[in-house]
Structure 1
């Protein structure tokens, strides 16, 4: 038995949960592991997040408490070991948007409307204290992952630092040009981090998870995360309806919303190209490469909408397209 299993058992025993049944749950892109605890009809979720590989638990705890205080559905913290990297949290069920819509696609319009309304509601809230700013400079830095992981391992050529700096500056400048409200952003607001809770009411009908990287940033960021989901398609009609509804609810110009979504989408999709390549190459999670063509298509659409010819030219000249040959290079890297 490895040390981590022993530590997990010790935590459960110390907190009085050792007589509950335990079963694996699907994880996410991080090293965190999740387990469902059960006792009769009662359930909870054990999060196993070693501090060394996952970072401190405080951001997750603080943001979860903030979201609950603001009237949103986030897992309540039931027991914790900050030093050991363990939490027992409320079980919000299995109805992730991504899996629910495979079974009940007719729910898509309604549940996405509620997810959109949450973003509008979050705009009106005072952001939580001690949450980091997702600055234009940080976003520029992260966009360069597309060069250091995606392009680098397709081309087989060492990264040109001048090009990395150019991309950082292009993206940081584009983000800085947005005159958007700075709000709390989840940073991974998509169908695998949203749970449908129909027994609850209003904005509490969507459960929020995996928000530990939450930051303060431009309001279009989470909107594009919802609309340009790397793991699933939404129809053009639904996307247009959601953008129009967002404009109605916020009073913001539809044209400015679309431009903000495009610019935030460029940054986000550049980052995802690099992150998914890294997950395959470094962490042996090659299935993330299957999502890259969709991300590339989003990027191309965002470049067309954003009206940034210098950045567009730069990307087209430095990033290879994810054709089958190039994806095979990433798989074998």
Structure 2
């Protein structure tokens, strides 16, 4: 089905199409305006991600969370028309008014607490130590501009060390992990309770340890989060979701390392392959988070492997 035919079938054939700024993916977004109403048009590659978006969207809405209503869908063609949550991202609010940051991060943390209390999706891939190690290996494939690739002899030891570090947590309960859960993918809505947090960009959801999305939120690659807020929200999550602090902090550091390595590899690939160099501005922050997480005693083996590379890239 062509785009024009899709819009016609959905009743948006006369809409004004306003392109929107894209993200790091190959998806394209536009805002549709017609007869005083608006919606979001998403065009994605035919790679299965649209089917995944629809499935996760239905799951989240069934759990009383604010994923967008889907008005029309042709997943096989990567086409969706969804509810428009507006332009007020958590990121924009916290950047303009730091006084609101604590309240918004509390709301975002409460969404994760809610996800920890409801049944996880039954048909998602599992994010375990092997998955984390595989994703971290991207740092061996793409060099940051002006920086050396890690020594390839580190690859196998690093993978083994990450898998060993994850073993205690691979045996625990998993929750639905939204993966890219951060302030730019959260929209502030005029609603009460958890409904005030509009959720976006969740098509890559997996089943993972609860600490993963909390790290994604509080160790944001794109902006600094006040350390006091990070500490407060971590305490809040552990208290409300009933997690042992010793184990949770170790998991938090581990998944912080895995996420940081994956992001550094993605940013290097975006810059080198796709010419998207703006993401390089975030590298120092991600690197700092990586080093901070590696200081946890549970990750001493991982740190011993990565330290020479980190020293060479200062």
Tell me the equivalent position of 1:19. Answer: 14
Tell me the equivalent position of 2:133. Answer: 140
Matches within 5 A, 1:1-333: 7-51=2-46, 54-150=47-143, 154-155=147-148, 160=152, 162-178=153-169, 180-197=172-189, 199-319=190-310, 322-323=313-314
Deviations 1:135-184 (A, max 9, x none): 21111111111222237973268x62x42122111112212222642111
Q: 1:321 and 1:288 mapped to 2: Cα distance?
A: 21
Q: 1:311 and 1:80 mapped to 2: Cα distance?
A: 44
Tell me the equivalent position of 1:330. Answer: none
Deviations 1:67-102 (A, max 9, x none): 001000001111011222110011111111112222
SS in 1 for 2:248: helix
Q: 1:180 and 1:111 mapped to 2: Cα distance?
A: 29
Q: CA RMSD in A?
A: 1.9
Indicate if the aligned counterparts of 1:150 and 1:273 stay in contact, CA closer than 8 A.
no
Indicate if the aligned counterparts of 1:74 and 1:207 stay in contact, CA closer than 8 A.
yes
Q: Does the C-alpha gap of structure 1 residues 253 and 143 become closer, same or farther in structure 2, counting only changes over 3 Å?
A: same
Q: Does the C-alpha gap of structure 1 residues 306 and 194 become closer, same or farther in structure 2, counting only changes over 3 Å?
A: farther
SS in 1 for 2:183: coil
Q: Does the C-alpha gap of structure 1 residues 46 and 245 become closer, same or farther in structure 2, counting only changes over 3 Å?
A: same
Further displaced range: 121-130 or 223-232: 121-130
SS in 1 for 2:234: helix
Q: 1:209 and 1:130 mapped to 2: Cα distance?
A: 20
Structure 1: give runs of 5+ residues left out of the alignment: 1-5, 324-333
Question: TM-score w.r.t. structure 2 length?
Answer: 0.94
Structure 2: give runs of 5+ residues left out of the alignment: none
Question: TM-score w.r.t. structure 1 length?
Answer: 0.89
Deviations 1:244-277 (A, max 9, x none): 1112212223333222111110111011110111
Q: Does the C-alpha gap of structure 1 residues 321 and 265 become closer, same or farther in structure 2, counting only changes over 3 Å?
A: farther
Q: 2:272 and 2:144 mapped to 1: Cα distance?
A: 12
Q: 1:156 and 1:258 mapped to 2: Cα distance?
A: 29
Q: Matched residue pairs, number?
A: 313
Q: Does the C-alpha gap of structure 1 residues 237 and 166 become closer, same or farther in structure 2, counting only changes over 3 Å?
A: same
- Give the deviation of 1:307 after TM superposition: 3.5
Q: 2:121 and 2:149 mapped to 1: Cα distance?
A: 43
Deviations 1:2-24 (A, max 9, x none): xxxx9322321232211111101
